[in-house]
């Protein structure tokens, strides 16, 4: 039985992961869960899965949560220290990182230092701290098994193959809700419009990232750190059906693709069960139904965020972190109606131009950088 911790159990990935566990009770035991503020959902999960610990980030909710779970015996913690504590418990085998944003960085590093396997959904963590995480991994027995659908696909397509035989990684992108639009069509976009993803039902932040194509940009950087492939050999292709989750093109001209229904429970199950494969929760793909799979070039002039992420990745050092932090702040501002949709790449570009790149840095440096970049952006939009 694998002993499992879920960071961000009340979100889109977290709840789907618990659905996998619900159907695979003989494979997993839930040791700890965490949420930011969704106390009702968390209490429901505690009642169903009886974890030893829960973490609630919002400190104002700690005493209410304690009252509500005291009869079950679950202990309540708070803060990022709480996330680090549950990620390093001695009896834990695997930590699913499904919080949103770079808050995942510290618990992920703590878990790697204790030799835990990481099922990684939280891509921002790898984008801001890719080199730190790789360094920690080199000193640990931990493995990262990707949950992000594209990276799960790449991981599966690379299985057993020699890395030197790879020509290109090809990430597929749905194109988001504004595929085919030009900048002049996007001046009046509201958060509600941008949140309507055509294929996936996801959290708010990643849905906006998909609409700007920053999600794909973050995924390019994520792929670079996960698979050690140069940016020139990581391509993006728009595939509106979201059935092929990504592909690897080999030097001999073969392309190996991973296909499955558009349901995150597949890559979640794959990561949690790895290296085993058991019966699907999501049904088998009906190839006749999806008899037309199409591909297009991404429009990086309209969806500039993808271009900016490639630039940040190629510059390296702290630039991917600046790009990600600026994006997190800009998406927050957009969701709160403080800036327009088309301001998102402008703000990111400003931040990338303003912050000097550093090539030697540690975790503390990244944590301070977050404060500085967020403050810089709040000042420019005043």
Ligand X SMILES: CC(=O)[C@@H](O)[C@H](O)COP(=O)(O)O
Ligand Y SMILES: NC(=O)C1=CN([C@@H]2O[C@H](COP(=O)(O)OP(=O)(O)OC[C@H]3O[C@@H](n4cnc5c(N)ncnc54)[C@H](OP(=O)(O)O)[C@@H]3O)[C@@H](O)[C@H]2O)C=CC1
Q: Over the range 354-363, which residues count as b (16 or more CB within 10 Å of their CB) and which as e?
A: ebeeeeebee
**Near ligand Y by CB under 6 A, which window of 44-52, 195-203, 247-255, 325-333?**
195-203
What is the C-alpha to C-alpha distance for residues 34 and 32, in angstroms, rounded to an integer?
7
Cβ distance to Mn ion smaller for residue 150 or 328: 150
What is the C-alpha to C-alpha distance for residues 134 and 322, in angstroms, rounded to an integer?
19
Q: Which does 10 bind (CB under 5 to 8 A by kind): Mn ion, ligand Y, ligand X, none?
A: ligand Y
In this structure, what DSSP letter does residue 356 have? Answer: P
Is there binding between residue 13 and ligand Y (CB under 6 A)? yes
Is there binding between residue 215 and ligand X (CB under 6 A)? yes
Q: Could you say which of 8, 129, 176, 298 contacts ligand Y (CB under 6 A)? A: 8
Q: Minimum distance from CB of 209 to ligand X (Å)?
A: 7
**Near ligand Y by CB under 6 A, which window of 59-67, 178-186, 199-207, 294-302?**
199-207
38 marked as binding residue: yes
219 marked as binding residue: yes
Cβ distance to ligand X smaller for residue 88 or 174: 174
Greatest alpha-carbon pair distance for the chain in Å reads: 62
Which residue is associated with the tokens 């304690």?
66
H/E element holding 3? strand 2-7
> Closest-CB residue for ligand Y?
11
Is there binding between residue 98 and ligand Y (CB under 6 A)? yes
124 marked as binding residue: yes
Q: Minimum distance from CB of 153 to ligand Y (Å)?
A: 12
**Near ligand Y by CB under 6 A, which window of 121-129, 164-172, 312-320, 353-361?**
121-129
Sign of CA dihedral 206, 207, 210, 214: negative
Is there binding between residue 176 and ligand X (CB under 6 A)? yes
In this structure, what DSSP letter does residue 62 have? Answer: H
In this structure, what DSSP letter does residue 309 have? Answer: H
Q: Are the CB atoms for 349 and 373 separated by under 8 Å? A: no
In this structure, what DSSP letter does residue 342 have? Answer: T
Is there binding between residue 231 and ligand Y (CB under 6 A)? no
What is the C-alpha to C-alpha distance for residues 28 and 40, in angstroms, rounded to an integer?
23
Cβ distance to ligand Y smaller for residue 57 or 309: 57
Q: Minimum distance from CB of 195 to ligand X (Å)?
A: 12
Q: Could you say which of 149, 212, 260, 318 contacts ligand X (CB under 6 A)? A: 149
Backbone angles phi, psi at 86, to 5 degrees: -70, -25
148 marked as binding residue: yes
Which residue is associated with the tokens 């932040």?
205
Is there binding between residue 264 and ligand Y (CB under 6 A)? yes
**Which residues from 238-267 bind ligand X, rule CB under 6 A?**
264
Which x/- pattern over 14-53 shows residues binding ligand Y (rule: CB under 6 A)? x--------------------xxxx---------------
Interior CA angle at 174 toward 170 and 176, to 5°?
135
Q: Minimum distance from CB of 196 to ligand X (Å)?
A: 12
* Kind of pairing between the strands at 255-259 and 244-250: antiparallel
Which residue is associated with the tokens 């801001």?
128
* Kind of pairing between the strands at 117-120 and 94-97: parallel
Is there binding between residue 173 and ligand X (CB under 6 A)? yes
H/E element holding 53? strand 53-56
Which stretches of the chain bind ligand Y, using CB under 6 A? Answer: 8-14, 35-38, 57, 98-100, 103, 121-124, 148, 200, 202-206, 264
Task: Name the residues that contact Mn ion, by CB under 5 A.
Answer: 148-150
Binding site for ligand X (CB under 6 A): 148-150, 173-174, 176, 200, 210, 215-216, 264
């Amino acid at each position: 039985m694998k002993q499992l911790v879920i960071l961000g159990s009340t979100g889109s990935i977290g709840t789907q992961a618990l659905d996998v566990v619900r159907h695979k009770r003989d494979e997993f035991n839930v040791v700890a869960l965490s949420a930011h503020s969704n106390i009702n959902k968390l209490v429901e999960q505690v009642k169903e899965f009886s974890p030893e610990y829960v973490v609630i980030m919002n400190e104002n909710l700690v005493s209410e949560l304690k009252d509500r779970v005291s009869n079950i015996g679950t202990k309540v913690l708070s803060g990022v220290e709480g996330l680090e504590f549950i990620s390093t418990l001695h009896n834990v085998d695997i930590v699913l990182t499904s919080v949103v944003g770079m808050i995942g960085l510290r618990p992920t590093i703590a878990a790697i230092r204790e030799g835990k396997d990481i099922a990684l959904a939280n891509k921002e963590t790898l984008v801001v701290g890719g080199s730190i995480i790789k360094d920690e991994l080199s000193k640990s027995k931990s493995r990262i098994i990707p949950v992000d659908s594209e990276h799960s696909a790449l991981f599966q397509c690379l299985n057993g193959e020699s890395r030197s035989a790879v020509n290109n990684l090809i990430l597929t992108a749905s194109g988001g809700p504004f595929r085919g639009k030009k900048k002049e069509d996007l001046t009046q976009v509201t958060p509600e419009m941008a949140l309507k993803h055509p294929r996936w039902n996801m959290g708010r932040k990643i849905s906006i990232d998909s609409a700007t194509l920053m999600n794909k940009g973050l995924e390019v950087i994520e792929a670079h750190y996960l698979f050690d492939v140069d940016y020139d050999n990581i391509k993006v292709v728009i595939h509106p059906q979201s059935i092929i989750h990504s592909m690897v093109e080999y030097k001999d001209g073969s392309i190996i693709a991973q296909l499955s229904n558009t349901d995150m429970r597949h890559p979640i199950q794959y990561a949690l069960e790895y290296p085993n494969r058991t019966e699907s929760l999501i049904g088998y793909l009906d190839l006749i139904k999806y008899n037309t799979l199409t591909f297009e070039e991404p429009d990086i002039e309209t969806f500039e965020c993808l271009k900016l992420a490639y630039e940040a990745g190629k510059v390296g050092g702290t630039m991917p972190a600046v790009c990600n932090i600026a994006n997190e702040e800009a998406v927050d501002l957009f969701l709160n109606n403080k800036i327009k949709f088309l301001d998102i790449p402008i703000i990111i570009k400003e931040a990338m131009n303003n912050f000097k790149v550093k090539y030697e840095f540690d975790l503390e440096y990244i944590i301070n950088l977050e404060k500085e970049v967020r403050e810089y952006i709040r000042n420019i939009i005043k």
